[in-house]
Amino acid sequence: MKQEYSNNKGYDNSHLTWNNSEVTGLEREMLLGNLNYINSKVISNWTKGVLTVLTVLIPVIGQVIGLIAGMVFLSDEAKDKRSFGTVLIAVSIITFCTLAFLWLNWRGLLKFV
């Protein structure tokens, strides 16, 4: 496919055509995968904060809740939900590993020389 540029006097090259048809903003967002789908609701900041705090503060059960919620958000088509699901899973794993390390150290099973 050949791109054609229109450059008249006093105009810039921002008007690009592709085989005599314009690519609209909506089509561009769909092609790039950045479109927030109409049927999908955005997660509120309050929900994000509560889920993150529950994941960090409640030992073991909070990490399980974070993993399950993260997997649910990863299965959604909206980019915002997928990225928050990834963050929630990462926070759950890091918190669980930190708590396990501290518990093993407290029980005396880890000894550093």
Burial class (CB in 10 A: 0-12, 13-18, 19+), 92: buried
User: In the predicted model, what is the mean pLDDT of the chain?
Assistant: 80
66 touches 88 (CB < 8 A):
yes
pLDDT more than 70, % of the chain? 64
Question: What confidence tens digit (pLDDT) does each residue in 2-49 have?
Answer: 555 555 555 455 555 445 566 676 676 666 665 555 566 788 999 999
Which H/E stretch holds residue 86? helix 79-107
88 touches 70 (CB < 8 A):
yes
**Global pTM value:** 0.64
Burial class (CB in 10 A: 0-12, 13-18, 19+), 69: buried
What per-residue confidence (pLDDT) applies to 77? 82
